[in-house]
Amino acid sequence: MLLEMGQKAKRAARRLARLTTDQKNATIDCLADALIADKKAILVANAKDVEAGNGNGLSDSLIDRLMLNESRLAGMADSLRQVANLPDPVGEVFDKGILPNGLQVRKQRVPLGVLGVIYEARPNVTVDVAGLALKSGNAVILRGGSETLSSNRALVTSLQRALTQSGVPNDAIQFIDSPDRALVLELLHLKDHVDMIIPRGGAGLHEFCRENSHIPVITGGIGICHLYVDESADQEAALRILHNAKTQRPSVCNALDTVLVHRNIAQGFLPRLVEHLAPAGVTFRAEPLAAGMLSHESVAPAGEKDFDTEWLSLVLGLKVVQGLDEAMEHIAAHSTAHSDGILTRTEEHAQRFIAEVDSAAVYVNASTRFTDGTELGLGAEVAISTQRLHARGPMALRELTTYKWVIVGDWHVRK
């Protein structure tokens, strides 16, 4: 089954490489139209997944990621249209030059080929990846989690119908329509047909892919995110940023997990922070020094693993630090290199934080919630990479391409 899918995807990728930008954009617009036209069937299928998820005891955060409604479906269609409007990276020429012997040399951006994307409880990923893959000229094999099976069947049926209408091969977007976990391992071994594996899910999925894949793997999307409130921070502005970073959508990977506060302002700032966030339902895990400054019912002592936990909920860690050095040491020890930031009016501290904190996204005086392809002007993203190769941060169109050398001669031979 998977071998045949890989072979079909490879053939489709060669055809996609020939499509013009206008053809790709028209097809992506057709995908968006199909989602709206098929919304009733998609939402009925999603409701089955949500009902089954509640029955199986899925957490509130997973149910939130799983659930679709008319607004979210419209947002998914809008994201596709935004991708269609983005510049096409394929064919971009750079590092162009002429050698002393007259050879014309350039690098030219090309698709990666075939993507294998493995993800959990996020039906929007099905659509985001389909649009980004198509615009960047890549075929894709999708493997969603068992909890999204009905939703993904309906979504892929809609997307493939749109491909047919556009004259693009259906095999450009394929879906592993089975919850059998053995098929994940089989996908990871298709090294002759799949060019990159992108897992989106928990730490266990990422570790499994790293340990078992015969194909390059891009890992990321697990965020233990920090904001350090420096002694010189604008405290009113800091409260607004912390509220946004924690509560705007707590179930996602760029939501805030830990606040580090300079000791010189902690006595006054921490009680204000708790009073500001507790009405939104936030509860707190405070290390001993921070806990000693607080007497609110929403504050509990931090456990041994609390600062190594991606909460994905309205739980927030609190720690008092001696200053910038200790804040950066804590981040180095506990961050997953996703999104970390400093709130300060001291430029020297901001520049040190930028230079020394080794995360995919580093913030100065802003919420961590901006680590997102759309928010950063890239359009929809396929994943957030927290590794150093081959891409880092939101992976959008350019990150789904590579390049080839193109050398044009006048019947040159090497002497």
Instruction: With cut-offs at 50, 70 and 90, classify the pLDDT of residue 110.
Output: very high
3-state per-residue secondary structure call for the chain: CHHHHHHHHHHHHHHHCCCCHHHHHHHHHHHHHHHHHCHHHHHHHHHHHHHHHHHCCCCHHHHHHHCCCHHHHHHHHHHHHHHHHCCCCCCCEEEEEECCCCCEEEEEEEECCEEEEEECCCHHHHHHHHHHHHHCCCEEEEECCHHHHHHHHHHHHHHHHHHHHHCCCHHHEEECCCCCCHHHHHHHCCCCCCCEEEEECCHHHHHHHHHHCCCCECCECCCCEEEEECCCCCHHHHHHHHHHHHHCCCCCCCCEEEEEEEHHHHHHHHHHHHHHHHHHCCEEEECHHHHCCCCCCCEEECCCCHHHCCCCCCEEEEEEECCHHHHHHHHHHHCCCCEEEEECCCHHHHHHHHHHCCCCEEEECCCHHHCCCCCCCCCCCCEEECCCCCCCEEECCHHHEEEEEEEECCCCCCC
Residue 136: per-residue pLDDT: 97
Cα torsion 160, 401, 198, 306: sign:
negative
Its pTM stands at: 0.86
- Contact call for residues 8 and 57 (beta carbons, < 8 A): no
Residue 383: per-residue pLDDT: 85
> Region 269-284: what's the mean pLDDT?
97
Domains located in the chain, CATH noted: 2-219+387-408 (3.40.605.10), 225-370 (3.40.309.10)
Burial (Cβ within 10 Å: 0-12, 13-18, ≥19) of residue 303: exposed
User: What's the mean per-residue pLDDT of the chain?
Assistant: 95
> Region 384-408: what's the mean pLDDT?
91
Instruction: With cut-offs at 50, 70 and 90, classify the pLDDT of residue 396.
Output: confident
Write the CB contacts of 106 (distance below 8 Å, at least 6 apart in sequence): 93, 94, 95, 96, 97, 405, 406
Token pair recorded at residue 97: 């030059």
> Region 338-362: what's the mean pLDDT?
97
State percent of the chain over pLDDT 90. Answer: 85
Residue 222: per-residue pLDDT: 86
Place of tokens 């001669």: 409
- Contact call for residues 206 and 240 (beta carbons, < 8 A): no
Instruction: With cut-offs at 50, 70 and 90, classify the pLDDT of residue 60.
Output: confident
Cα Rg of the chain (Å, integer)? 23
Nearest to 407 by CA among 171, 18, 96, 197: 96
| 355-379 residues labelled b (16+ CB within 10 A) or e (exposed) | eebebbbbbebebbbbbbbbeeebb
User: For the segment 158-180, what is each residue's pLDDT rounded down to a tens digit?
Assistant: 999 999 999 999 999 999 999 99
Instruction: With cut-offs at 50, 70 and 90, classify the pLDDT of residue 307.
Output: very high
The span from the CA of 326 to the CA of 88, in Å, is: 44
Check whether 380 has a pLDDT greater than 80.
no
Check whether 221 has a pLDDT greater than 80.
no
Instruction: With cut-offs at 50, 70 and 90, classify the pLDDT of residue 387.
Output: confident
Residue 379: per-residue pLDDT: 73
Write the CB contacts of 158 (distance below 8 Å, at least 6 apart in sequence): 31, 34, 35, 37, 38, 41, 42
Check whether 220 has a pLDDT greater than 80.
no
Sheet containing 283-286: order of strands: 299-301, 283-286, 315-321, 256-262, 225-229, 339-343, 361-364
The span from the CA of 214 to the CA of 189, in Å, is: 5
The span from the CA of 226 to the CA of 328, in Å, is: 10
* Cα angle, residue 132 at apex, residues 88 and 189 outer, rounded to 5°: 120
